[in-house]
Amino acid sequence: MKTTKDQKINPWHLLIGLLVSTFNSSQARVNGELGAVLDNAIVAALISFGSGLFILFIGLIFSRTARTAYLSVPTLIRTKKLKWWQTIGGIAGAFFVIGQGFVVPVVGVAIFVIAVVAGQSCASLLVDKYGLGPAGPKAVTGLRITAAGLAIVGVAIAVIGRSHTGNFNLPMVIYMFVVGAFTSAQHAINGRVAQATKQPWATTTLNFSVGLMALLVMFGIYNLVTNVAIPIPPAPWEQPLLWTGGSIGIVFIVSAVVLVRSLGILVFALVSVVGQLLGAVLLDVFFPTPGNTVTPQVLLGVGITVVAVVLAAFQSNVTDSQDQKEIFVPDADPSSVTMD
């Protein structure tokens, strides 16, 4: 398969991605507190997705363009402008928020984050290679692999410096690695949907719709198996901050479907990691929680991850054919593979 020469990355897009990801780091804090209040991770995830979808539907009501684009998705599938599997990216988001509630209490924050970032970094290389995202195929070079590896190392240093709780649980670690990998694919196919509909708001609405449906199925199964009582959440006017997870997610997904087209999946994933690490540091400084402090080890990890982003972005701006030499060339042409 031939890979396209990477377009030069706009530094403003890197900055926007960094700022949005830094803001998005507060979503984990919000959803975590909501899950603790309810003592039910699935219900907390349903509230996050449901409140976000409510806001998105309000937007559709007032925007005819976005509403038309959202309703055009079945037609786009029938006319082969979209494949059906390109519309189900929201399922990855649903599994991710479920993992936040069930995995973190067992393995701890450090192992959870390392597993997710490892999955995202490794999968981003392949997602870019196969051109699943709107940026098209990108060569898997030594510099890109080095950037992905540095990101994992940097995150490991940073999060281990923040948290020493939890126990290693191989099935849960594998689960979060796989979920992290699928979130990379989620951003790629969301970008494809946005390219087809020409409407990031409609794409985000589709993402939340699919995610909410997946969560409802999970909740139904979980409730049948456990038969636990459904907790009643506090009213939005009583604890409004606990209801902000969905709106924070909207900002991140909208920016993702726009930015992956110019940055590619690997660079966007690494920028997101840096932003979330920075956001976590800022939260610890201005809104600290017991047990979390900003240490030199945390700052070192953030610095290493920043270097990974610089390397990945530099690779995308390289024009020398020798530097663009690909080191991983699969035999199959993934563009011929269908999932119909």
Residue ranges per structural domain of the chain? 16-317
CA 192 vs CA 13, 200, 252, 253, 271: distances in Å: 18, 10, 16, 13, 20
Token pair listed for 260: 């992956």
Contact 119, 235 (CB under 8 A): no
Please tell me the pTM assigned to this model. Answer: 0.82
| Cα dist from 62 to 59, 74, 80, 200, 337, whole Å | 5, 21, 29, 15, 39
DSSP assignment string, 239-292: SGGGG-HHHHHHHHHHHHHHHHHHH-HHHHHHHHHHHHHHHHHHHHHHS--TT-
The rounded distance, in Å, linking the Cα atoms of 303 and 273 is 12
Q: Is 314 exposed, middle or buried (0-12, 13-18, 19+ CB in 10 A)?
A: middle
Q: How far is Cα of residue 147 from the mean position of the Cα atoms in its chain? A: 18
**Among residues 334, 287, 276, which one has the least CA distance to residue 20?**
276
Residue 322 confidence (pLDDT): 42
Per-residue pLDDT 10s for the chain (340 aa) are 444 444 567 788 889 988 998 888 788 778 878 877 888 888 888 998 999 999 999 999 999 999 999 999 999 999 999 999 999 999 998 888 888 777 777 776 667 778 888 888 888 888 988 888 887 788 778 888 888 888 888 888 877 766 666 666 788 888 989 998 999 999 999 999 999 999 999 999 999 999 999 999 989 998 888 877 888 888 889 889 889 989 999 999 999 988 988 888 888 888 888 888 888 778 777 776 665 666 787 788 888 888 888 888 776 655 333 444 444 434 444 333 333 3
> At 23, which helix (H) or strand (E)?
helix 11-38
pLDDT of residue 247: 92
Read off the tokens for 243.
Answer: 């209801």
